[in-house]
Amino acid sequence: MNIAFFRIEPWEREYIESREEFKKLGAKAVFFDEGLDQDHIPTDTGAEVICTFIDSKITKPVLDAFPNVKLITTRSTGFDHIDLEECKKRGIQVANVPKYGENTVAEYTFGLILALVRKIYHSYDQIRETGSFDLQGMRGMDLKGKTLGVIGTGSIGQNVARIARGFEMQVIACDKYPNQQAAKEVGFDYCEPERAIRESDILTLHVPYTKETHHLINKDNIFTMKKGAYLINTSRGQVIETEALVKALHEGHLGGAALDVFEEEGVIKDELEFLLQGSSEKPDLKTVLANHVLVDMPNVIVTPHNAFNTWEALQRILDTTIQNMRGFQEGKPVNLVG
């Protein structure tokens, strides 16, 4: 079995090659530092298994370049960067890592919440940059007694709700597939999305990116949020309409936002490469500009898609990825999507 790993750090390669489960595969593996998309296809395209990360784009041209591929395993829960329909046509299995960061991302979410509502970063930045200990503009709010709205109650959303209950917050949640047992055990109530958006003091998003969740928060509903409410996103950037968010913040309707992800993330992360090398994908430049506006707003915290990024979570991702390959090799596939 030939395996091609993309966007692999040296320590990850060392970890993978040291695992007994991987050695048992007897696989020939090649490792690439960069991601995979139609503008970055290696000369060696004989892989039967492709292992990617979320910054890769597995589209028809990429699949055309890999005639032998039978399995794509992504080191992420989300799989919107893979053309599932095209994979299905070709009989290619697609596997993900359904659970790895239920506590990891939830903890980061609350880090963002606290940094935002208690103005922790703003306080630190003021002292570091100006030496001023002035408390003007530093007043925050208690979490106790406030309402947290959780949209998406998978393993991450449930852990966010559990942490919120530790802060003695009231939690309301919505999900396409409600988990009433979890609601009872953790102590939250399900409601319609409209109510969660309307009644939450803090609204946090934990949904995958699909056609149904595209611009879940948009110009038609963002102004139904409480005046002064806060919006947190550690899921996917496309679930928020960026221009609507900028407008709600600029007009003072929202108190602030904390974003670990945003639309056109790939372009804004490496604008120099985009300008010098170009891309077959055409970004929405208005959204890219709106992202820059968000970054410069004093009541917005932006982090670089970092919520998943702990040693423990990354090791769980790699272990599950090896299990996906093992299941494929033995004809007992696991963690398939699509």
Please give the positions annotated as active site: 236, 265, 305
Q: How far apart are CA 225 and CA 217, in angstroms?
A: 10
Q: How far apart are CA 258 and CA 237, in angstroms?
A: 12
Q: At which residue do the structure tokens 């306080």 appear?
A: 123
Per DSSP (E only), the strands in the chain are 2-6, 28-32, 49-52, 71-74, 93-95, 147-151, 170-174, 189-190, 202-205, 230-233, 256-259, 300-302
CA distances from residue 337 to 5, 84, 238, 321, 324 in whole angstroms, order as listed: 19, 8, 20, 14, 12
CA-based radius of gyration for the chain: 21
Q: How far apart are CA 201 and CA 228, in angstroms?
A: 8
* Bridge partners, 71 (sequence order): 49, 93
